Structure 1
Amino acid sequence: MTTTPPTAQDGLDIDARYAFARRVALEAARMGMNYYRDRNALVVEHKGDPQDVVSLADKEIEQFIRHQLSAHFPEDGFLGEESGSAALAARCVWVIDPIDGTACFLNGLHNWCVSIGLLIDGEPYLGAIADPNHDELFHGCLGRGAFVNDVPLAVSAAQHVREGLTGTGTFHPRGKQHFIPFLQGLLGEGGMFLRNGSGALMTAYVAAGRLIGYYETNLKSWDCLAGLVLVREAGGLVNDFFRDDGLLRGNPYLVACPGVYDQLAALIGPSLDGAVD
């Protein structure tokens, strides 16, 4: 998808929304750290699959973000992992994951973050990903670049999968049959893989050049929307994630630096742009 950035005449205050995303992501991440330090006391629920969990921290942080959005941008729409959607026909729709990497969070691993992204006219427009364990705020806005804290991001210059690490992952209900064949192909080409449990962070790491690419057999929009902006602004490539109601249903997902995108897409095969069921 391509778009022309909204102008002042559009009546959208992009500066205010960008500042808001960064500020609230940091505040929510600080809340998350308080829960993280006392995680053994959290009530945990399963969402139908033993690996798909939610805690009180997820719910209360999403409620905090949603309250902040209602107070500052009441006309904007909202899609959250835990509390559903509202006003999805609005020009501006916020897509939120209060804790991306909940399984890591609950098990004392540092691979979790808060992800806040904004769609404008259906296009990923700005995003903020706050990682309190490493004091990193990844953020970007269409046409303005992408950054970690104040440092500009740029994707890797790798030209072959053997020249770096590729992030990867899968989801139990959909698409898992494509996971092992991809890993076999990647290893056969001399590549190596990493799975850290947070789609938002692995996407941000592609934008930062730490990973050369990231493939997920099926990902949800709240796990990646903020990061998609960062990858594009850092010079990376993305697949057509939003096709076939990807915003609500999820889809196969690939982001990568230009030098390896086609190679990774070929290793994935037709499932990247086809059905995953």
Structure 2
Amino acid sequence: MPSEPHTATPSDLRALCADIAHEAGSFAHEQRRRLGAGSRAAHDTKSSDVDPVTEFDRATEELVVDRLRAERPDDSIIGEEGADHTGSSGLEWHIDPIDGTVNFVYDLPGWCTSVAVLRDGAPIAGAIYAPVVDELYTAALGEGATINGAPITVSGATDLATSLPATGFSYHLDEHRVEQAERIARILPRIRDIRRQGSAALDLAYVATGRVDAYFEEFVNSWDIAAGVLLVTEAGGTVTAFDGNALDVTAPAGVLAATPALHGEFVTMFVASR
């Protein structure tokens, strides 16, 4: 039965996020397994010739939208593959059915389903499910973050020289990638190493679990980061724009998430590198 729009708590919404993310991610995983190990999924392209979209992205988003329309009919929905429903409740869902589609296409494990709900432009509940490794991350505003039900916290890293951040790159083969590559060249000598997983949502989840110490990326979208931003903040991390100012999750120019002791140093590096 649909829940009342004004009575659902962040905890209630967290449970719904988790249930939908798990169902949708499991569906996509089963479809991928049917293609066979090591096979490459057929795909079209979206924003550029290297930005793929598959039939499974679309089918998985349809599954998520159907669930939300049934259980939260008065809420708004924004999805990567075109979902755009305007509701009246004041709650807005930002969904990415398969974040890390390139990994999905190549049968690499680094992809997930991300589901988040926002109020007044800020996430109040979210879930990320990585079906290949069966890891479900959840968070609710003021209630902490978990992986498979166990509480998580960001790392205690304090030394920039031994820190391990993650990042990603634009699918626009123009000055965006040139700018990002130049920034990496300036940053890499000052850190331990860098990781490029291929999924913004998972990168943020890895910051929340302490697997990496920071994550930064430009040219992302709300559905890429909404659930992950809440995970990081609820796990004790700091999330801002590149310049250290407040992040607009609904229109992010760039996101920087880090353990608190390192966040300021990353901001200083980014400002100096511009």
Q: Normalising to structure 1: TM-score of the pair?
A: 0.87
AA paired with 2:134? D
The residue number in structure 1 matching 2:160 is 161
Q: Distance in 2 between matches of 1:221 and 1:161?
A: 28
The residue number in structure 1 matching 2:232 is 231
Distance 1:193 1:166, change over 3 A: same
- Answering whether residue 266 of structure 2 is matched by residue 264 of structure 1, we say yes
Root mean square deviation, CA, Å: 2.5
- Contact 2:207–2:232, Cα closer than 8 Å, also in 1: yes
Q: Deviations over 1:127-178 (max 9, x none)?
A: 1000111110011000110000121111111112222310011203373343
- Contact 1:28–1:64, Cα closer than 8 Å, also in 2: yes
Q: Deviations over 1:90-139 (max 9, x none)?
A: 41100000000000001010000000011012211111000111110011
AA paired with 2:256? L
Equivalent residues, number: 264
- Contact 2:241–2:252, Cα closer than 8 Å, also in 1: no
AA paired with 2:265? Q
The residue number in structure 2 matching 1:62 is 61
Q: Distance in 1 between matches of 2:5 and 2:67?
A: 25
- SS at structure 1 position matched to 2:56: helix
The residue number in structure 2 matching 1:191 is 192
Distance 1:41 1:190, change over 3 A: closer
- Contact 1:91–1:122, Cα closer than 8 Å, also in 2: no
Unaligned runs of 5+ in 2: none
- Contact 2:124–2:230, Cα closer than 8 Å, also in 1: yes
Unaligned runs of 5+ in 1: 1-7, 273-277
Q: Distance in 2 between matches of 1:168 and 1:255?
A: 10
Q: Distance in 2 between matches of 1:159 and 1:165?
A: 11
- Answering whether residue 213 of structure 2 is matched by residue 217 of structure 1, we say no
Distance 1:9 1:48, change over 3 A: closer
Identity of matched residues, %: 32
The residue number in structure 2 matching 1:47 is 46
Give how far 1:15 is off.
3.6
